[in-house]
Amino acid sequence: MCGIVGILGTKAVATDLVDALRRLEYRGYDSAGIATVENGHLERRRAEGKLRNLETRLLTEPLTGRTGIGHTRWATHGRPVERNAHPHMSDRVSVVHNGIIENYRDLKAELTARGHTFETDTDTEAVVHLVTDGMQQGLGPIEAVRAALGRLEGAFALGIIFAGHDDLMIAARQGSPLALGHGTGEMYLGSDAIALAPFTDTITYLEEGDWAVLRRTGAEIYDRAGARVERPLVKAVASALLVDKGNHRHFMAKEIHEQPEVISHTLANYLDMAAGTVNFPPLGIDLASVSRVTISACGTAYYAGLVGKYWIERIARIPVEIDTASEFRYREPPLSPGGLSLFVSQSGETADTLATLRYCKANGQRIASIVNVRTSTIARESHAVLPTLAGPEIGVASTKAFTCQLSVLACLAIALGRARGTIDAAQEAELVKALTEIPRLISTVLRNEDEYEKLAHELSKARDVLYLGRGTSYPLALEGALKLKEISYIHAEGYGAGELKHGPIALIDENVPVVVIAPEDELFEKTMSNMQEVAARGGQIILVSDAESSKVGCRLATHIRVPKAHPFATPLLYAVPIQLIAYHTAVFMGTDVDQPRNLAKSVTVE
Contacts of 296 (CB under 8 A, 6+ apart): 302, 305, 322, 323, 324, 325, 328, 329, 341, 342, 343, 344, 353, 356, 357, 360
Q: Contact region for ligand AGP (CB under 6 A) — 126-134, 239-247, 391-399, 455-463?
A: 391-399
| Residue 353 makes contact with ligand AGP by CB under 6 A | yes
- Give the shortest CB-603-to-ligand AGP separation in angstroms: 5
Nearest CB to ligand AGP, comparing residues 350 and 443 = 350
Among 131, 397, 441, 547, the residue binding ligand AGP under the rule CB under 6 A is: 397
Alpha helices of 314-424 — where are they, by DSSP H? Answer: 325-331, 351-362, 377-380, 400-420
Residues 268, 316: Cα–Cα separation, whole Å: 21
Residue closer to ligand AGP (CB basis): 204 or 300: 300
Q: How far apart are CA 51 and CA 446, in angstroms?
A: 34
Q: Are 113 and 80 in contact (CB under 8 A)?
A: no
The b-or-e profile of 55-83 (16+ CB within 10 A means b, else e) is: bebbeeeebebbbbbbbbbbbbbbeeeee
Active site residue 298: no
**Cβ closest to ligand AGP, residue 301 vs residue 379:** 301
CB atoms within 10 A of CB 91: 9
| Rounded alpha-carbon distances, angstroms, from residue 278 to 30, 259, 432, 435 | 19, 21, 7, 11
| DSSP-based three-state secondary structure for 10 | coil
Q: Among 4, 54, 144, 298, which residue sits at the site for ligand AGP (rule: CB under 6 A)?
A: 298
Out of 72, 84, 300, 388, which residue is the one contacting ligand AGP (CB under 6 A)?
300
Taking the C-alpha atoms of residue 589 and residue 300, their distance in angstroms, rounded to an integer, is: 22
What is the rounded CA–CA span in Å between residue 322 and residue 326? 12
Query: CA-to-CA distance for 246 and 287, rounded, in angstroms?
Result: 41
Among 204, 346, 488, 545, binds ligand AGP (CB under 6 A): 346
Contacts for 140 with CB less than 8 Å, ≥ 6 apart: none
Q: Is the Cβ of residue 200 or residue 398 nearer to ligand AGP in the bound state?
A: 398
Distance of alpha carbon 95 from alpha carbon 156, whole angstroms: 12
Nearest to 603 by CA among 302, 352, 321, 281: 352
Q: Which is nearer to ligand AGP, 122 or 398 (CB)?
A: 398
**Span near ligand AGP by CB under 6 A; candidates 251-259, 295-303, 333-341, 521-529:** 295-303
Residue closer to ligand AGP, measured from CB, 386 or 543? 386
Catalytic choice (50, 361, 564, 601): 601
248-287: contacts with ligand AGP (CB under 6 A)? none
602 forms part of the interface with ligand AGP (CB under 6 A): yes
Stretch that binds ligand AGP, among 57-65, 97-105, 168-176, 346-354 (CB under 6 A): 346-354
Q: How far is the CB of 576 from ligand AGP (least distance, A)?
A: 14
Restricting to residues 110-129, which ones interact with ligand AGP according to CB under 6 A? none
11: annotated active-site residue: no
Identify the residue among 90, 350, 388, 436 touching ligand AGP (CB under 6 A).
350
Contacts of 496 (CB under 8 A, 6+ apart): 468, 469, 470, 474, 477
Stretch of residues binding ligand AGP (CB under 6 A), selected from 96-104, 138-146, 168-176, 292-300: 292-300
Residue 254 CA to residue 7 CA, distance in Å, equals 25
Among residues 400, 435, 404, 403, the alpha carbon closest in space to that of 315 is found at: 435
Residue (33 or 395) nearer to ligand AGP, CB: 395
Site string for ligand AGP, 462-501 (x = CB under 6 A): ------------------------x---------------
Nearest to 56 by CA among 64, 66, 48: 48
Q: Which is nearer to ligand AGP, 111 or 252 (CB)?
A: 252
Catalytic residue among 2, 360, 404, 411: 2
Q: What residues make contact with ligand AGP under the rule CB under 6 A? A: 298-301, 345-347, 350, 353, 396-398, 486, 602-603
Catalytic residue positions, numbered? 2, 601
